[in-house]
């Protein structure tokens, strides 16, 4: 039996949304169990099969207003730290899922799961591109807000290794997010990083990529600091949601509802963030997935399926892109 460690605290929707997802996964996967971190009384209400779950009792979490480093040293039973510790000590676990604070997830990952060859993990998100069935891995998407040029180079290596392993791309193209495609464009960080990536061995650097071209499949890995990457992620989500709403409104006004529903359905299948809204922590010894704080049961099921796919050596987000 392989176990997924799941943190039920820290989510905007509360533990029940997460436990609803756990219930569905247990019903559809007979060879998967869960180590559930949270309130035992609430977990008991679900009547999960006792031979397939273990419970780590805690009621303590870290909010986005807390200092995650202080919390790590001052709070003994924070749910995400307990989940990551369990994953580091238990060889039967295939990964960790949390919808809690990104900062706490980052601190805990460094303390318990950091790859000895890395200085810092990074959060990566795989986004669909204009080329059907193709994607771009954005690194970092929020774990490291302030970084230096050498950390961006390390993110490039992490993203390249990820795409080689899980998408079988022999030499992933690496782009650097900037305000212009010219090598002279960008802020201080981008300008200092550009020549480092250009000179780096084992990195197929293709130059700067503008934000408007981020999903044009000009690169397989898009490198940026966590602040910029998080904006790429959220703006993409927002624009996709707005477009879908506008298409549906247009269909109702124009009397072409069937056509509008067909187009909107296609966009929803591509940008269904409940199905593909988990970011993956790169540079750690066990797979760690960060779901959005607003994630419901569907997103939790999808995150669990990603872990199951990865454990089975299937392509990351395989089912999303096969729709």
- pLDDT class of 274 with cuts at 50, 70, 90: low
- Give residue-wise pLDDT tens across range 40-57: 999 999 999 999 999 999
Share of the chain above pLDDT 90, in %: 66
Q: Quick one: how many helices (H) and strands (E) in the chain?
A: 12, 11
Q: How confident is the model at residue 314 (pLDDT cuts 50, 70, 90)?
A: low
41-100, pLDDT tens digit by residue? 999 999 999 999 999 999 999 988 889 999 999 988 999 999 999 999 999 999 999 999
Distance between CA 92 and CA 243 in Å, rounded? 43
DSSP per-residue codes, 62-74: --TTS-HHHHHHH
Residue 168 scores a pLDDT above 60: yes
Which H or E element spans position 146? none
Q: What is the pLDDT of residue 6?
A: 97
Domains, in order of start, for the chain:
2-114+284-321 (3.40.718.10), 123-270 (3.40.718.10)
Quick one: average pLDDT of 179-196?
95
User: Which segment of 139-148, 244-253, 264-273 scores lowest on mean pLDDT?
Assistant: 264-273
The dihedral through the CA atoms of 200, 207, 119, 159 has a sign that is negative
**What contacts 196, CB < 8 A, 6 or more positions away?**
149, 150, 152, 153
**278-312, pLDDT tens digit by residue?**
889 999 999 999 998 888 898 899 899 889 888 87
- Tell me which residue has tokens 């795989």: 126
pLDDT at 38 over 90: yes
Closest Cα to residue 93, out of 279, 243, 284? 284
**Is the CB of residue 136 less than 8 Å from the CB of residue 222?**
yes
Q: What is the pLDDT of residues 221-255, one digit of tens each?
A: 999 999 999 999 889 888 888 988 999 999 999 99
Burial 191-227 (b: 16+ CB within 10 A, else e): bebbebbeeeeebbbbbbbebebbbebbbbbbbbbbe
Label residue 318 by pLDDT band (50, 70, 90): very low
Q: In this predicted model, what pLDDT tens digit does every residue of 110-133 receive, in sequence order?
A: 999 998 777 788 999 988 888 877
Q: Give the residue, 239 or 218, on which the prediction is more confident.
A: 218
Quote the pLDDT of residue 311.
82
Average pLDDT, the chain: 90
- This prediction has a pTM of 0.85
Q: Which residue has the higher pLDDT, 240 or 275?
A: 240
pLDDT at residue number 321: 38
User: Residue 176: its pLDDT value, please?
Assistant: 98
Q: What is the pLDDT averaged over residues 180-184?
A: 93
In the predicted model, what is the mean pLDDT of residues 130-159? 91
Distance of alpha carbon 286 from alpha carbon 298, whole angstroms? 23
Is there a contact between 301 and 25 (Cβ–Cβ < 8 Å)?
yes
Which of the four pLDDT bands, split at 50, 70 and 90, describes residue 322?
very low
């Amino acid at each position: 039996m392989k176990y997924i460690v799941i943190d039920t605290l820290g989510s905007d929707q509360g533990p029940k949304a997460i436990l609803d997802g756990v219930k569905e996964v247990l019903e559809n996967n007979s060879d998967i169990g869960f180590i559930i971190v949270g309130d035992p009384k609430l977990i008991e209400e679900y009547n999960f099969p006792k031979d397939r779950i273990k419970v780590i009792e805690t009621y303590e979490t870290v909010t986005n207003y807390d200092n995650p480093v202080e919390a790590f040293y001052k709070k003994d039973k924070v749910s995400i730290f307990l989940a990551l510790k369990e994953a580091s000590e238990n060889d039967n676990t295939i990964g960790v899922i949390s919808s809690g604070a990104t900062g706490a997830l980052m601190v805990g990952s460094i303390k318990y799961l950091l790859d000895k060859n890395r200085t810092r993990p990074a959060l990566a998100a795989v986004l669909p591109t204009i080329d059907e069935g193709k994607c771009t891995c954005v690194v970092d998407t929020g774990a490291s807000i302030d970084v230096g040029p050498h950390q961006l180079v390390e993110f490039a290596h992490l993203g390249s290794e990820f795409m080689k392993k899980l998408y079988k791309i022999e030499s992933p193209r690496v782009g650097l997010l900037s305000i212009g495609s010219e090598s002279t464009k960008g802020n201080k960080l981008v300008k200092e990083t550009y020549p480092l990536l250009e000179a780096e061995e084992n990195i197929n650097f293709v130059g700067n990529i503008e934000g408007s071209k981020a999903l044009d499949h000009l690169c397989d890995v898009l490198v940026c600091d966590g602040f910029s990457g998080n904006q790429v992620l959220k703006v993409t989500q927002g624009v996709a949601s707005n477009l879908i709403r506008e298409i549906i409104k247009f269909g109702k006004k124009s009397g072409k509802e069937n056509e509008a529903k067909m187009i909107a359905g296609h966009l929803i299948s591509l940008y269904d963030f409940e199905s593909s809204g988990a970011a993956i922590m790169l540079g750690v010894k066990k797979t760690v997935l960060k779901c959005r704080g607003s994630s419901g049961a569907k997103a939790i099921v999808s995150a669990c399926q990603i872990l199951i796919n990865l454990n089975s050596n299937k392509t990351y987000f395989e089912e999303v892109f096969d729709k």
